Amino acid sequence: MTPSIFKIGQWRVDPARRTIERSGETKRLQPRLMGVLVALARAWPGYKSRDELIEDVWGVEHISAQALNNAVSKLRQALEDDSRESQIILTERTNGYCLLVEPVWQPSREKLFSGHRRTILIAAGIALAAGIAVLISVSIPRNPLESLVDNPENWEVEYHATE
């Protein structure tokens, strides 16, 4: 399942599209860079060790530490995380990496339509469909002549003499 959209500081992160966006500027990230960013966001406020990140993002245990270092470096460049005032990703030799800015998650469609909300929406949909079915069956006669044949007392006869 793709993670929800979230914000880190001024950046809006869309994992499904692999984009980060700020003030109308959109950047597309490589899949591994987005994987690192999402893994760090999910671990917030804690750290993700190098081994955990490699396992989560690359899916293997035997990848060089340099590959992770390069990914974090490129991620920092994309986030313009190059000064102490706006630092987003912290490296701590003994613990690994962590985000210094709290990610703010937007609710996903699955969360919006889960539990009681989903039950209410399903019930409303069923009620709407039943209402439409009743309206259609009541307001549209199958054959307009059937009502005349069934009710002869409603017949009106006009006679026009011709010369």
6-105 belongs to CATH 1.10.3720.10? no
Element holding 113 (H helix, E strand): none
CB neighbour list of residue 44: distance below 8 Å, 6 or more residues apart: 98, 99, 102, 103
The pLDDT of 47-54, averaged and rounded, is 90
Residue 65 has pLDDT above 60, yes or no: yes
The DSSP output letter for 114 is S
Higher pLDDT, 114 or 58: 58
pLDDT classification of 22: cutoffs 50, 70, 90: very high
Please tell me whether the overall predicted TM-score, pTM, comes out greater than 0.75 for this model: no
Looking at residue 64, what is its pLDDT? Answer: 81
Give mean pLDDT, residues 22-40. Answer: 93
Per-domain residue ranges of the chain: 6-105, 113-151
